[in-house]
Amino acid sequence: MFQQYGRFAARVKFIVLAGTEICGMSSIILTGTSFDSASLAILDKLNTIEELLRGGTNDRAQVHQAAVAAATSIAETDARGTLSRLKSLNSPSLERAKDSAPFHMNIEGVLSWSIFDDLSPNLDLKGLLNSSNQPVPLIPSVDTEFDEHVAEETLVARFMSNVFIYNPVLEEAKVHRYMRDARYIGIGWDAQSCLLLLIYAHGSIAGPFDGGHQQEASAFRTTPQFKQAESFFSAAQKRMGLLLCKTGVLEAQCFFLAGVYLMATLRPMEAWKMFVQALACCQAFYTEKESPEADREGEQRLRESIYWTCFKSELELRLELNVSETSIWDLTYPAFFPSPPDGLRSQREIVWYFYLAEIALRRLGNRILNYVYDTKAASSLAAIAESTVGFEQQATDWLRSLPQALDLDSTVDGEDGRLHNSLKFILKGHLLDCYEMMYWPFIVYAVNYDAVERNDATIPKPMMDSFVQKALTICVERIEKNEEGFRYRHHGTWLMLRSCTRSAFVLLAAARIEKLTLLLPERWRYAIEKVIEMLRYWRRESRDVEDRLRLVELLLDGLMNGHRGE
């Protein structure tokens, strides 16, 4: 039965790498083997078998069945189209079961809990985002002409220091070459000119991680810097139409950076479309065998980097927007890790350590999320508790694998302090995401299901209370640890607004249930007040922010007036 795996033996070794990414950073550097989309799908199926074996199951029939399914899928791979192949693999994905609605980890999922039925909240996020009645126009009326003689070195430097470090998907030498070409022959209509305009747009709005100085975020939209950024972005948009039918690395970089810019200016629906287009470019990287000449300038490494980055950006945004319900879109993360460039300088070395650490952490989060979304109301809490303990250990292993420069409990002073601390700030946020996912089923059960409904699926009350308390504590910690970035405009601003607001709603739900009030951390009310301040700062940037602010204020006022809970 396993003879069919012979031709893939050289690639199966990458499964081991994928399975041990949390055990040490040295384990996650891959070689230069190229993967097409079919091979990635096959690796995903083999990974399913490995997870069954690694989970210690004694059900040989289950493993046998999975192996047969994998062998069948591999045998039929060359004969089927990509979409059919993905369907037949039945790989672990983020497809959500119909009865798992309360387990959805976004604001709309939480607001759909019965504890909030008296509010009749607006659950149409897309309607809020697409509302034509915006408090402040998202795109102000500006002159679409841009100044080609702007201090481009300054803009590129600001981009590199404040955007590139979080997503190292470009080559600095090429960027400076594009800038030199534009200086001599002007901005053209090709992909490299489009990329340069996007870098200038980012450089116009990017700033250091030290918080904003305006009373409201929307005040920034009246500044010359924002108008300049919009002019650059508008010029880049005019060149994107020429890129739609191309599938090179440069085109993917353009669409990705366009998505990042739209995220930084709180336009998530538009950003998601850009990430999808960037991902479409990336999917074509592995459809045909590349010629040796195609990798002369390290294109393989760039393909790996942009492919991974587009995957994570599209997926995290899709989960919040809930824009796709079909399993075809619910793909797991790529089975490879990007390779760092040769000859890294010390500053760029820490950027790549961060990049690889983030990938490993996001893969852990993806495994947890797959498990959570597969949770049903009838699932055994004992089984969930056992899995949660395993996930906690994996998170601990990841923490131990971090290099000293990224130790989350240490502080770095001096010239490198700002860079190191900003990278660690992001990793702390992703780690909180993982812990929140781990404990999510317990808070869902505690709020939405009575003990009678769970029957034999219950666990001892002290254990249940412990997990629920951990979930509520994570909500408070998320808000407190993100506070220093509440006024910082960047790629993840909208996602931070969403996650902190979700945490506030979870705390408010617990505060409305008498049996859960004793499990709330002492700082819960203060944390919610911080979220209110955050939402007030951004309220005029997006309709959904203003709507959620109104609900949080309404709920907190109700609790203070003794309507529910305390």
pLDDT at 53 over 80: no
pLDDT at 500: 97
pLDDT at 243: 94
Poorest-confidence range of 101-110, 119-128, 158-167?
101-110
Determine if residue 375 is left, alpha or beta; phi over 0 gives left, psi from -120 to 50 gives alpha, anything else beta: beta
Poorest-confidence range of 161-175, 275-289, 436-450, 528-542?
275-289
| Cα–Cα distance measured from residue 533 to residue 74, given in angstroms and rounded to the nearest whole number | 54
| Cα–Cα distance measured from residue 289 to residue 284, given in angstroms and rounded to the nearest whole number | 11
pLDDT at 276: 95
Which residues have CB under 8 Å from 48's CB, separation 6+? Answer: 66, 70, 91, 92
Spell 439-462 as b/e; 16+ CB within 10 A means b: bbbbbbbbbbbeeeebeebbbeee
Amino acid at 14: F
Choice between 138 and 86, residue whose per-residue pLDDT is larger: 138
pLDDT at 22 over 90: no
Q: What is the pLDDT of residues 322-336, one digit of tens each?
A: 876 544 344 455 555
| Cα–Cα distance measured from residue 368 to residue 222, given in angstroms and rounded to the nearest whole number | 42
pLDDT at 7: 34
Poorest-confidence range of 35-39, 83-87, 308-312, 450-454?
83-87
Q: What is the pLDDT of residues 184-224, one digit of tens each?
A: 999 999 999 999 999 999 999 988 766 556 778 888 999 99
Which residues have CB under 8 Å from 396's CB, separation 6+? Answer: none
Angle at 465 between CA 463 and CA 471, to 5 degrees: 110
Q: What is the pLDDT of residues 355-399, one digit of tens each?
A: 889 989 989 999 998 888 877 655 788 999 999 999 999 999 999
Residue 14, H or E segment: helix 9-19
Q: What is the pLDDT of residues 254-285, one digit of tens each?
A: 999 999 999 999 999 999 999 999 999 988 87
Question: How far from chain centre, in Å, is Cα 70?
Answer: 29
Confidence band (pLDDT; 50, 70, 90) for 79? very low
pLDDT at 344 over 60: no
Q: Where are the alpha helices (DSSP H) in 402-523?
A: 417-448, 451-454, 461-482, 493-511, 514-517
pLDDT at 32 over 50: no
Q: How many CB atoms lie within 10 A of CB 346?
A: 8
Domain ranges of the chain: 2-89, 143-334
pLDDT at 10: 33
Closest among 494, 488, 491, 412 to 208, alpha carbons compared:
488
Q: How many CB atoms lie within 10 A of CB 117?
A: 10
Residue 365, H or E segment: helix 346-373
| Cα–Cα distance measured from residue 464 to residue 445, given in angstroms and rounded to the nearest whole number | 10
Question: Encoding tokens for residue 248?
Answer: 């090179």
The mean of the pLDDT values for the chain is: 77
Closest among 505, 511, 556 to 529, alpha carbons compared:
556
